[in-house]
Structure 1
């Protein structure tokens, strides 16, 4: 049985957006690739911008994998969880950068993207909020030091992941010093360090 039209649209849009970018892609092309009616894009997402926001806020497979890495506190060693969150965060930002860059290339399209984010309360802060909430739960469970602010830790984690992805996207691999695994391990150690220690 074929997946529902909504999922087919999301899958086709993800593939086409990565291949061609947002500015040059029409809803008709997405609908054709999804074997769906063009009106189903408007019905399910409100149009091309709504589709992009759905992908970046909820639907990208890399985002779901990142969210799945936030296992319940105490289930895995916290250092392992943080490194996993960093790796999957890098994968999410690497997947989302071309989508956002495609929208940013067209000023009118990007203004509509920003306006829709403001109206819907969507945007990149949602991932940060989710990570901060998770780290708060870990702190309550004794997995993170008290006296550190989870939102600041989330900024450190998300900022590291985003910069790793951005640098690889713009400069290719090897632009940052050392090995990525070592940088992520050092970031995890920094997040887990006790203030004033």
Structure 2
């Protein structure tokens, strides 16, 4: 049994956007690759911009994997959870960068993307807000230092993941000094209040 048209469209769009970029990709090509009617893109997402927003704000597999790494406090050692969140955050930002770059390459398309985000309350801040809420839960459970502000901790975590992804995307692997595993472990220690002076 074939998956529903919405899922087929999302999967096809994610694949094609990575291969070709957003600016020159048409809804007709996405529909053909998804074996769906072109009108179903408008019906399900309101058009190409709505499809992009759905991918970036909830539907990318890398985003779902990142969200699933936020296991309930106490289920795994907090340092392990933080390193896992950083790794999966890097995977999400690595997957989303070509999509956003494709939209940014077309000023009209990017302006529409920004306006739709404003109207619907979507955008990159959602991942940060979600991470801050999760870290606040961990703090209440005694897994994180009491004096630390969860939103600031989320900025450290998401900012690290984003910069790792961005640097790898633009400059290639190995552009940052040292080993990535060491940098992520040090970031986790910083969040946990265990950083070395």
- What TM-score comes out, normalization by structure 2 length? 0.98
1:173 matched residue in structure 2? 173
- How far apart are the structure 2 equivalents of 1:187 and 1:194? 10
1:72 matched residue in structure 2? 72
Gaps in structure 2 of 5+ consecutive residues: none
Which deviations, in whole Å up to 9, do the C-alpha atoms of 1:1-24 show, x marking residues without a partner? 000000000000000000000000
SS in 2 for 1:143: coil
8 Å CA contact 1:145–1:194 kept in 2: the answer is: no
Which deviations, in whole Å up to 9, do the C-alpha atoms of 1:84-133 show, x marking residues without a partner? 00000000000000000000000000000000000000000000011000
8 Å CA contact 1:132–1:150 kept in 2: the answer is: yes
1:157 matched residue in structure 2? 157
Which deviations, in whole Å up to 9, do the C-alpha atoms of 1:52-79 show, x marking residues without a partner? 0000000000000000000000000000
SS in 1 for 2:139: helix
- How far apart are the structure 1 equivalents of 2:178 and 2:57? 32
Following TM superposition, the consecutive aligned residue runs of length 4 or more in structure 1 with deviations greater than 6 angstroms are none
1:143 matched residue in structure 2? 143
RMSD: 1.1
- Counting only pairs closer than 5 Å after superposition, residues 21-40 of structure 1 correspond to structure 2 as 21-40=21-40
- How far apart are the structure 2 equivalents of 1:60 and 1:158? 17
Which deviations, in whole Å up to 9, do the C-alpha atoms of 1:12-55 show, x marking residues without a partner? 00000000000000000000000000000000000000000000
The size of the alignment, in residue pairs, is: 196
1:93 matched residue in structure 2? 93
- Counting only pairs closer than 5 Å after superposition, residues 96-135 of structure 1 correspond to structure 2 as 96-135=96-135
- What TM-score comes out, normalization by structure 1 length? 0.98
- How far apart are the structure 2 equivalents of 1:93 and 1:84? 14
- How far apart are the structure 2 equivalents of 1:132 and 1:46? 30
8 Å CA contact 1:62–1:92 kept in 2: the answer is: yes
